[in-house]
Amino acid sequence: MRIAPVADIKAKFSSYLTECQEGPVVVTRNGHAVAVLLCVENDDELERLLMAHNPKLRRIVQEGLKSIRETGGLSEDELWSSVDSGAE
């Protein structure tokens, strides 16, 4: 992992893109981390990364987990019944 100030990243962006293939590059401003350059291998990896950091999706997942804890969730029969009927 490399740590570099934003000014250096701006001046040598292409070389840092190459460098992030070896590991994350932490970008700092005034000595504080503000971003990370990550290399993605394929579209699936990019999609997983974007979904993992999507606040709306995270909220939906958290609400679903809370509902499961409170109600016990659906039984397998209820799940397949809702899938078969096209219910949302």
Question: What is the percentage of the chain residues whose pLDDT exceeds 70?
Answer: 97
Give the C-alpha distances (Å, rounded to integers) separating 4 from 13, 14, 17, 55. Answer: 11, 14, 12, 27
pLDDT, tens only, 40-83: 999 999 999 999 889 999 899 899 899 999 998 888 888 888 88
Which amino acid would we find at residue 59?
R
Structural domains present in the chain: 2-37 (3.40.1620.10), 43-85 (no CATH)
| Rounded Cα gap, residues 24 and 52, in angstroms | 17
| Rounded Cα gap, residues 2 and 34, in angstroms | 14
Q: What CA dihedral angle connects 7, 9, 10 and 13, to 10 degrees? A: 170
H or E element in which residue 2 lies: strand 2-5
